[in-house]
Structure 1
Amino acid sequence: MEKPWVMTQEWHDVLFLHWRIAPQLVQPHIPKELQLDLYEGQAWMSIVLFKAKHTRLRLLPPIPIAGTYLELNVRTYVKYKGKSGVFFFSLDADSRLAVKTASAGNFLPYLHARMAMVDQGETYKFKSKRTNRNSFPETLDLSFRVTSSMPKKSRLEDWLTERYCLWTKPKKQLFRVDIEHSPWQLFYVKGTIYKNTMASFLAFSFPQNLAVTHYSVKKKVRFFPPVPEY
Structure 2
Amino acid sequence: MWMMTQTWRDLLFLHWPVDPAKIRYYVPAELELDLYDNQAWVGIVLFKAKGTRPRFLPPIPGSANFLEVNVRTYVKYKNRSGVYFFSLDADSKMAVEIASFANFLPYRKAKMALRKKPNKILFKSRTVEKAMPSEKISLKYSISEEQAVSTNLEQWLTERYCLWTKPGQHLLRLDIEHDSWKLKYIKGRIIENTMAPYLGINFSNKSPMAHYADMKNVSFYPPIIEK
TM-score (normalizing by structure 2): 0.98
5+ residue gaps, structure 2:
none
CA contact (8 A) 2:148 2:185 kept: no
How many Å apart are 1:152 and its aligned residue?
3.6
Query: CA deviation digits over 1:171-227, x for unaligned, max 9?
Result: 211100000000000001111011101011112111265421000000000000000
Report how far residue 16 of structure 1 moved: 0.3
| 1:38 is aligned to 2:35 | yes
- Once residues 43 and 8 of structure 1 are traced to their aligned partners in structure 2, the CA distance between those partners, rounded to angstroms, is 30
- The residue that corresponds to 1:20 in the other structure is 17
Say if 2:105 and 2:167, in contact at 8 Å, map to a contact too.
Answer: yes
Is 1:55 the counterpart of 2:52 in the alignment? Answer: yes
Matched, 1:174 2:196: no
Seen in structure 2, the aligned counterparts of structure 1 residues 68 and 24 have a Cα distance that, compared at 3 Å, is same
1:183-194 map, 5 Å? 183-194=180-191
Kept in 2: contact 1:191–1:210 (CA 8 A): no
The counterpart of 2:95, out of the listed 98, 104, 108, is 98
Tell me the equivalent position of 1:165. 162
Partner Cα separation in structure 2 for residue 92 and residue 221 of structure 1: 18
Say how many residue pairs are matched: 227
Q: How many angstroms apart in 2 are the aligned matches of 1:140 and 1:26?
A: 20
The 1:208/1:196 distance shift into structure 2, 3 A limit, reads farther
CA offsets per residue over residues 106-150 of structure 1, 9 Å max, x none? 000000000000002221001100000122200001111101332
Question: Which whole-Å CA distance do the structure 1 matches of 2:141 and 2:150 have between them?
Answer: 20
Equivalent residue letter for 1:35: E
Provide the rounded CA distance (Å) in 2 between the counterparts of 1:213 and 1:53.
22
Runs (4+) of structure 1 moved beyond 4 Å?
none
Residues 181, 219 of structure 1: 8 Å contact kept: yes
Q: Give the equivalent residue in structure 1 for 2:137.
A: 140
Distance 1:210 1:221 in 2: 29
92, 110, 122: which one pairs with 1:113?
110
Identity of aligned residues (%): 51
Q: Report the residue type matching 1:100 in the other structure.
A: E
Aligned to 2:120: 123
Gap regions ≥5 residues in structure 1: none
Give the distance between the partners of 1:169 and 1:28, measured in 2 at CA: 14
